[in-house]
Chain A
Amino acid sequence: MSTATVKPDPGDIQTRLLNLAGQLPAGINQAALRSHLSDLPMDRIIQCINQLTQSGKLEVLQTANRELLWRLRDASADRRLDGLDTKEVMVYEQLRAFGNKGASAQQLQSRSAMPQREIGKCLNSLEAKKLVKTVRPVGHAKKKIFMLFELEPDASLQAGTFFSGEGFDQEFVDVLCQQCTLYLRRKAEAAATPAATTSASATLEEVQQFIGQSRVSTVALSLDDIRRVLRALTLEGVVETRPGPYAGAGSSCLYRLARSQLPASGDFGAVRVPCVSCPVAPDCRIGGEISPIGCVYLTDWAKGQF
């Protein structure tokens, strides 16, 4: 809050109020009024405060414990707030404090102690004047979040690249995973020794470029989006990462097809035994209705048909 240059006029209540507001840039509360302007009647003070607020020289705020504050309005303050009544200005200032995360009507009510109906009327008025907008957060289609019109919603509210109108787009993510795997497989096959050389690996930028050229996505995918997809593939065991000596901007490792995915790799483990993946294994009992003796899975497996 910049300090306004005010000519002191000892006899004028408004001048004294403005001077006091200049001395207290955080704002004047009722206690400050009683202490500094104790010689003046309170009703005259309030009347002057209202006049100054309406003239735009003072603005009214509300603290977290619902105490009213009056402070000097910045000369460069938004002129769009001219013509708003006090309650609308209060709601606007509350939303400014919430920033790009926005606030719901319930949150505004708990902050301002105004009735729900009043808040609703203020929000509708501000929305009509294009000072405030409504945002639907991802995953909560019925919830309304209000924020200042010119602000960009926070990432937590935004749907993101992998979300469509109906929620998380699993099919799109699967296609991206397939394309990344395809690119890395081609690189591995083109390399002389897929298991060992750097030529079988790719940087984040290279993968992003390939995805962009393949036109599987109508929106441009950022490096972070590609990193998330490759991270998911790493967790699945399809891709593995190695520290990259020639890191590009934004990436610090190389990605390549996991060695277990290579055709020359062997198999290890008992997963080939049908009992491991049998859907009725918990119910299988020797001598029971489901029993290994008459098991068709074991019969097919023994014949090599599993």
Chain B
Amino acid sequence: MAVSAVDQITSFLRVHLGPETAAVFLYISKNSKSPLQMIMQQFRLPSEKVSFFPAENLAHSSSLRLLKYFEKSSPSLAFETMSTNNQVLQMVQQCLTLLLTHDLLILSRRKDSAIEYSINWAQVRVLNRAPAFLCLTRTQLGHAAELVIEELLYSGRLGLLACLATVAKRLAEEDEASSSAAAAPAAVDPGLRALNAFASLLELRFIQRRGSVVPPLPVADNSGCGSGGRLEDDDEFEDDDVIGSSKIYRVEKPFAPLSRAEREAALRHIRESLGPAVKLSNESLEPPAKRPRVAAETTSVADARRPEEAAQEFSANAQQLRFRWRDSILTRAAASVLGAQASRVLAAMLDIVDERVRLGHAQSAESEVLAHADIVAQLAASAAGDARSGLDQHLSSLAEDGFIERQSGAAGGQFRILFRRAIFSLTRQSVAAVIRQRLGDKAVRVFNALSEEPNLTQAELESHVLIGGRDCKELLYRLLVDGFVHCAELSRAADFMNPRPNTAYYLFHVNLEQTTRKLLLNMHAYQDRLLTRRLAEVATNRRLLDKRQRVKELLKNLDAQISAADSAGNSDASAELSEQRAQAAQLLTPPEREQLETLKQSRTALRAGELLLEENIFLYELFLEFASQHN
């Protein structure tokens, strides 16, 4: 795992869940399979005061710094303020609960029945990929869906009501800030948009129902908000001092659609949380007497965060996000090579495969056979009905380029999507693009020649690629040094003990798997550099960003005061406040504005670069997955 991934997660945890949770996460990441006693040993009250890693400045991310638990100046953690180890124990338990909520921990039982905690690195990877997943969701399903996924990814698990309330609030704030605030309420109802987006995500399996990490609260039977699921294994966790005793629930139907009662309860909650300031559409509501009773508050950490939540929660389905990302990559590649119509045909075929997976079919290197009639029906059902014209030609083009394979010609034909072959082809093209960028077009010739005909000598290669001896030699050696091609030595002499260059054949070949592994490491390093640069720019311009934030808040306050004065009819005060506002707006000088604009442009470019690299990393990981399955 790249160091930057741990840095990012630690920073995320520190911001969202507190430095204590981040410290516990960091300790477990360095000491896998740690039982509670070991974790307590780390954070119990020592004889002398110690302070933990600094909260700020990620400009220099290094494992050495992360391992330093003694720093000169840092804010103290809550552990230091506790007077007894029992309080420390409770705090550690709370931290472990929060990490479990985010699926960042894996529990295992030792032989002596102690529960051990390890980091779920797959989930760490999912959280690191959150920006890419959000971009994918926004592209496919819109902004409201993106906000839902964002809330669920960064909160781990959320109840329906809490999630929708937060998303609706954000949508309402955005509507208010944008020029479309004057639109008709029914068209911009944030609550309905959030609910519809949530329902779509559930239907497409982007999100799933999950059981609660803590025991379900005793709620009224007519709550209509779903049950907490059944207990998976009652005998698994018995020790009350272990987090495992909270009994993690599993839901039988994780993708069951929202019931009518759930929808109504959600809209009612949104209306209550947003207040009368935001106009909402009038959904049919039950009489007040039938409202669900609010659950009693408890001292549990999880309940304190979501006091009115039902037992069942929702979380993002990382596996479906990955599959959709893979499908997005394939359709974009088809669009760039074959055009938009062929891309829509491929997208329709991928939707059929996705639907069959929902029905229980497994994902594999090749899809099941898809009939021509099914593809026509799917195109008719989707918005890509115009792609039916010339369907056979598009299918032939897709087959020629290796995206699909024609199984038989009966009844219009039967087809199969070749995931493995398409990913292999895309990976090879991606590697060739990297070579072209670094070493030029002629190096691509050499690479492709060795990919198609391995084990060539330099002389044979020169005649294949039509490059002069000296140039070919230089390109070949540079490709060798960078790890794009590999060399095997075949001795001509009988004396194999003392090979010499003039008594051996050197055969060059391409090992795409090995090359991809090396490029994957490089891509992680490049991503680390872009992230470091972005954070450094923020740190460098922190003073200016803080100033902008203060000016923004000041202007917001003045705007509120002006509105209040206008409402009260106090024109003098309104004029005076307007003048103050104009002066406040000048607090940011033009050079500072220009610097902020440059900073914004730079951060946007760096983020875009990180996303591009993340996509390449994902492609290479898919390739290596398929390659390892083949091996």
Whole-angstrom distance from the CB of B610 to the nearest CB of chain A? 9
Q: Are B601 and A236 in contact (CB under 8 A)?
A: no
Whole-angstrom distance from the CB of A225 to the nearest CB of chain B? 10
- Of A173, A265, A267, A272, the residue contacting B466 (CB under 8 A) is A173
Interface centre among A275, A284, A287 (most CB of B within 10 A): A275
List chain A residues, Cβ under 8 A from B466.
162, 173, 228-229, 232
Q: Are A273 and B465 in contact (CB under 8 A)?
A: no
Known: A269-B612, A270-B612, A302-B602. A235 touches B445 (CB 8 A): yes
- Of B397, B444, B525, B605, the residue contacting A301 (CB under 8 A) is B605
Q: Does A303 contact B (CB under 8 A)?
A: yes
Q: Does B523 contact A (CB under 8 A)?
A: yes
The size class of the interface chain B forms with chain A is: 35 or more
Q: Are A259 and B601 in contact (CB under 8 A)?
A: no
**Majority secondary structure of chain B interface residues (helix, strand, loop or mixed):** helix
Q: Does A183 contact B (CB under 8 A)?
A: no
Whole-angstrom distance from the CB of A246 to the nearest CB of chain B? 17
Closest B-chain residue to A267, C-beta based?
Answer: B336
Q: Does A135 contact B (CB under 8 A)?
A: no
Q: Are A236 and B444 in contact (CB under 8 A)?
A: yes
Q: Are A235 and B526 in contact (CB under 8 A)?
A: no
Residue interface mask B417-453, A partner, CB < 8 A = 1: 0000000001001101110111001101100110010
Q: Are B332 and A266 in contact (CB under 8 A)?
A: yes
- Of A268, A272, A299, the residue contacting B333 (CB under 8 A) is A268
Q: Are A168 and B335 in contact (CB under 8 A)?
A: no
The size class of the interface chain A forms with chain B is: 35 or more
Q: Does A212 contact B (CB under 8 A)?
A: no
List chain B residues, Cβ under 8 A from A281.
522, 526
Q: Are B336 and A273 in contact (CB under 8 A)?
A: no
CA distance A238 to B335 in the complex (A): 18
- Of A195, A235, A242, A266, the residue contacting B444 (CB under 8 A) is A235
Known: A195-B339, A275-B526. A236 touches B467 (CB 8 A): no
Whole-angstrom distance from the CB of A166 to the nearest CB of chain B? 10
| Cross-chain pair count, CB within 8 angstroms | 135
Q: Which of B57-65, B82-90, B567-575, B622-630 contacts A (4 or more CB under 8 A)?
A: B57-65
List chain B residues, Cβ under 8 A from A267.
336
- Of B397, B444, B533, B616, the residue contacting A298 (CB under 8 A) is B533
Q: Are B465 and A287 in contact (CB under 8 A)?
A: no
CA distance A173 to B465 in the complex (A): 11
- Of B437, B442, B606, the residue contacting A276 (CB under 8 A) is B437
Which residues of B from 326 to 370 have beta carbons under 8 Å from A? 329, 332-333, 335-339
List chain A residues, Cβ under 8 A from B429.
237
Closest A-chain residue to B606, C-beta based?
Answer: A302
Closest A-chain residue to B336, C-beta based?
Answer: A266
Closest A-chain residue to B616, C-beta based?
Answer: A270
List chain A residues, Cβ under 8 A from B609.
270, 272-273, 301
Whole-angstrom distance from the CB of B462 to the nearest CB of chain A? 8
List chain B residues, Cβ under 8 A from A275.
525-526, 529-530
Residue interface mask B457-484, A partner, CB < 8 A = 1: 0000010111111010000000000000
